[in-house]
Amino acid sequence: MWKGLAVVTNSESPIVVVLSESMEPAFQRGDLLLLSMFSNPVRVGDICVFKIDGKVIPIVHRVLEVHDNNTDGKQYLLTKGDNNPVDDRGLYNRGQMWVSDKEVVGRVSMYMPYIGMVTIILNDYPQLKVVLLAVMGIFVLITKEE
């Protein structure tokens, strides 16, 4: 199902969960975002998910500026979280001033409020995963098929 959704949305990561408050009030922590990456270029005001080289967690922020480089055909973006006081240059790698279009995973096309809180809770409390798996295992063992 994941691969099918990736093909339909043209995004390597079609679903992400908002992990911080940096995009409030547009998105809350725990909102589930559906991403797409179609051929039309990114525009100012688009909300993109991008992944900086060497960093594990992708970032969900709004595009403030777009620069199209005519020599190499690339697009360079400056981003900022709606709830942050300054742009994201402090989040980029040292010396990096822009996000390349190659670092963009997708653009937000839809969202579902708070659906991703389950993921956040399971990551914040890893012992809860063990309890949940144990309960599911017990349920499988005691349920009879007829």
Catalytic residue among 61, 72, 82, 101: 61
Does 61 qualify as catalytic in the annotation?
A: yes
Q: How far is CA 115 from the centre of its chain?
A: 14
Is residue 82 part of the annotated active site? The answer reads no
Given the residues 11, 22, 31, 101, the one annotated as active site: 22
As a whole number of Å, the end-to-end CA separation of the chain is: 29
Distance CA 144, CA 78 (A): 57
Whether the ω angle into residue 126 lies within 30 degrees of 0, i.e. cis, is: no
Annotated catalytic, 31?
no
- The tokens for 44 are 């100012």
Among 88, 101, 109, 124, the one annotated catalytic: 88
Instruction: Indicate which residues carry an active-site annotation.
Output: 22, 61, 88
